[in-house]
């Protein structure tokens, strides 16, 4: 069965009947995510060697577009998932990738720490994805991550977060980590207010601190800038554009494109 056929069935049988409740009741579409996983769509871009479909950004964008027509909230969850999986596919361990391929694992991004201008003119205010304030401290093969991430889609619902921090030992740059959602002292604070589209469980995630093995590092220490610039931002921009007609955010998208172009030539 092609991914398009599988997606059509899930959209018709599972997504469409709950789309209104997902948005109006601000309810995370857990049943939808489960169905997408069972249909092989969470593992769409994972290597075929690990049981995934082995497809690329173009097909992921097609899935986001088709899903956004029915439920923009579910499309936003897939947008974050596919972007995180692009990083995990390149640098993550085979077990996590295999779980994603099997449809049992939802990934998300935990990168931004402030909205543009939200915290004044300090580090990270201009480009929150590329200047993390979160810190990493290593001891005996264990790394303590401490920080606050904002605007995390599927906060408290995802199984793995792609997390950014200042370098562990490198003199400059940023470092990326695969942080399991079940890690002790990783939590979503209960508080009023809603971040992001309704039904996406978008919220703040805190690490105070979270302990992960040194092997959870994605790529090399301090090299995360290039990963964000050349993998995360291109996937985010393409997938946001795919959902654009159904979940308008032209100002945000245009601003993101401007920042990416500026960084690429700087």
Bridge partner residues of 161 (DSSP): 108, 179
DSSP type of residue 223: B
H/E stretch holding 187: strand 186-187
CATH class given for the domain over 1-105: mainly alpha
**Residues with pLDDT less than 50, the chain:** 115-126, 192, 248-266
Residue 68: the pLDDT is: 95
CATH class given for the domain over 110-224: mainly beta
Residue 124: the pLDDT is: 35
Residue 125: the pLDDT is: 36
- Percent of the chain at pLDDT above 90? 76
User: For residue 207, which of 152, 169, 167, 154 has the smallest C-alpha distance?
Assistant: 152
Residue 194: the pLDDT is: 57
Asked if 1-105 and 110-224 have one fold, the answer is no
Residue 114: the pLDDT is: 64
Start-end of H helices in the chain: 3-10, 16-24, 30-38, 57-70, 72-91, 94-101, 224-227, 233-243, 250-265
Q: How many Cβ atoms are within 10 Å of 101's Cβ, its own excluded? A: 27
Residue pointed to by tokens 């993550």: 92
Can you state the percent helix, strand and coil of the chain, rounding each to 5? Answer: 45, 20, 40
pLDDT digits (tens, 9 = 90+) for 42-86: 999 999 999 999 999 999 999 999 999 999 999 999 999 999 999
**Residue 94: both structure tokens together:** 């085979």
Domain ranges of the chain: 1-105, 110-224
Residue 96: the pLDDT is: 97
Residue 190: the pLDDT is: 67
pTM: 0.88
């Amino acid at each position: 069965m092609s991914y398009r056929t599988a997606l059509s069935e899930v959209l018709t049988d599972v997504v469409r009947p709950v789309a209104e409740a997902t948005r109006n009741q601000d309810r995370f579409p857990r049943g939808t995510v489960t169905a997408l996983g069972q249909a092989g769509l969470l593992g769409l871009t994972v290597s075929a060697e690990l049981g995934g479909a082995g497809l690329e950004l173009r097909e992921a964008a097609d899935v986001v577009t088709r899903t956004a027509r029915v439920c923009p909230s579910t499309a936003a969850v897939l947008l974050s998932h596919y972007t995180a999986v692009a990083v995990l596919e390149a640098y993550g361990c085979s077990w996590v990738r295999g779980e994603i391929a099997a449809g049992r694992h939802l990934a998300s991004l935990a990168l931004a720490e402030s909205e543009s201008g939200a915290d004044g003119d300090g580090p990270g205010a201009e480009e929150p994805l590329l200047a993390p304030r979160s810190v990493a401290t290593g001891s005996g093969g264990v790394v303590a991550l401490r920080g606050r991430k904002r605007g995390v889609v599927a906060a408290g619902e995802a199984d793995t977060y792609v997390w950014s921090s200042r370098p562990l030992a490198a003199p400059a740059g940023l470092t990326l980590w695969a942080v399991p959602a079940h890690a002790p002292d990783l939590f979503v604070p209960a508080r009023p207010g809603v971040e992001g589209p309704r039904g996406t469980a978008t919220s703040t995630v805190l690490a105070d601190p979270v302990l992960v093995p040194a092997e959870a590092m994605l790529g090399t220490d301090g090299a995360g800038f290039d990963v964000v610039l050349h993998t995360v931002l291109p996937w985010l921009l393409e997938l946001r554009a795919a959902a654009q007609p159904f979940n308008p955010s032209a100002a945000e998208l245009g601003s993101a494109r401007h920042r990416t172009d500026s960084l690429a030539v700087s």
